[in-house]
Amino acid sequence: MDAKKQPSLQVDYLIIGRGAAGLLAAARLQAYGKVAIVSKGGSNDSNTWVAQGGIAGVLSDDDSIEAHVQDTLAAGAGLCREAVVREVIGRGSKIIRELIEIGASFDTHRGELHLTREGGHSRRRIAHAQDATGRAIAEALQLQLQGDIIHLADHAAIDLITNYHIGDYSGSNRCLGAYLLNNEGQVLTVAARFTILATGGAGKVYMYTSNPHGASGDGIAMAWRAGCPIANMEFIQFHPTCLFHRDGSNLLLSEALRGEGAYITDARGRRFTFDYDTRGELAPRDIVARAIDHEMKKQGVDCMYLDARHLGADKIRRQFPNIQQRLQQLNLDLLHMPIPIVPAAHYTCGGINTDVAGRTAIEHLYAIGETACSGLHGANRLASNSLLECLVMADCCARRILAQTPPALRPLPTWDDSGVEPETERIPIKQNWDEIRAIMSHYVGIVRSNERLRRARRRLFVIQQEIADYFWKYPVSRDLIELRNLAHVAELIIRSAQQRHESRGLHFSTDYPERLPRAEDTILYPSQSDGP
């Protein structure tokens, strides 16, 4: 590609990702400078858009901030940063009421917010919009964006640009912008005073996931390559109740179903979760997911079942119309049959190491929402705290940025694709993608062991070498970008799991089944060796 013809752009605020975190950050910053917001797909290409259950907050007289804090700390298994927990939850009700003011259509009952309950919560505190809460929030936030915001849809972020990246080692590492690939194959060089990663999680690193296709850990991988420490990547939350069906493999059956009384059973109809925890179906997700996984292995079957028939047609049609419609399209029906389920990768509790405002180790680079590890979730996320974290972090991030003196923009080199060769075939990309997901699902899933992790790391090392050779030899593409990021994220999960010699929260090891008396974060630094 001729460098003179490569497009470029200068903005004050570059926001990569347009879920709840990215949208609120854009809304907060738009009055103070030029904002560009990037998405790999269209306006609905985010985990926020498909989020079903709701957003947690203290919204009733029989609840309290302290109760919500204690529920969060208990679910986090000793690894939550308590100051962060208190700040996020303390801001929760204000954020939710702001959403209502700007038009988010939460369900009501007799003029009051209808609150549901989910696993790990001691109170009903989940505000929801039927079973499409994320979409209601995203639509309300999108309406707050003004016409002069630059919307870069169908753009995939390739890499961050730092002063170290361009050979300037004077002072600390600073983010200067990013390279983006548009859907025509052109690389756009974006110079930005501040860059915000709001790219979501990495569920696609596993075979079964509730996440949309784009959840390939892009922000985490880019920040790692740029020099950011990564925290607690071993804690991948598997949602207990994802549909087990070839044609609906990412359909989540909301935890709110269990909050309203749905049962988890085996094929004989036995409610086995009480064998593992006295709270049964309402135990935290890590416990319920392990119970399902254990029963599947013990019984030698492919799935368990979610039975909501006893909830009645009125409740199902009123609160879960979208789930019911999707199931009916697959010839399944909540009203008349138990639904086959399997645990699926759902949420990345670890990520880029940040504070509650999203500040990273690189100046002028921020990470918010699921791509960050703020310390709110610890070793296991409490249900419906994720949308809350996205919004509070976005608000705090915007405040932090606006309190600073903006750095100067500087000219950046265009993307160097000299020496690349035309692609002859694309099958290596698909093959590596399938291999990574199989390795992670079989060796680094709900239950791990030292030997499984060693096997995974050895196999992944070979795949990473193949990807690196391919990346620098052939033209960059979205599939190749995502594959590269997926491989880096897989490596980070494996290495983090190898460093944790205990079982805690979402990480369960057969070699270290007990919890250590002291909880410590797993922090990986880019300077560390990444050999097999």
SS3 content of the chain, % helix, strand, coil (to 5): 40, 20, 45
User: Catalytic site residues?
Assistant: 285
Give the span between the Cα atoms of 217 and 482, in whole angstroms.
Answer: 8
- Looking only at the bridges linking them, the beta strands covering 126-127 and 115-116 are antiparallel
Strand partners, 162: 175
CA Rg value for the chain:
22
Contact yes or no for 200/389 (Cβ under 8 A): no
Label residue 408 left, alpha or beta by phi (over 0 means left) and psi (-120 to 50 means alpha): beta
**Six-digit token string for 92:** 């929760």
Q: Is 143 helix (H, G, I), strand (E, B) or coil?
A: coil
Strand partners, 54: none
Give the span between the Cα atoms of 16 and 180, in whole angstroms.
Answer: 10
Question: 142 φ, ψ to 5°?
Answer: -60, -35
Q: Is 524 helix (H, G, I), strand (E, B) or coil?
A: strand
Give the span between the Cα atoms of 16 and 235, in whole angstroms.
Answer: 24
Which positions ≥6 away from 361 have C-beta within 8 Å?
173, 227, 228, 229, 353
Q: Specify the DSSP element, H or E, that contains 178.
A: strand 175-182
Nearest to 119 by CA among 337, 266, 273, 307: 273
* Location of structure tokens 């060089």: 189
400, with CB counted inside 10 A (0-12, 13-18, 19+), is middle
Q: Specify the DSSP element, H or E, that contains 406.
A: none
Distance of CA 407 to the CA centre of its chain: 30
Total number of residues shown for the chain: 532
Give the span between the Cα atoms of 406 and 393, in whole angstroms.
Answer: 20
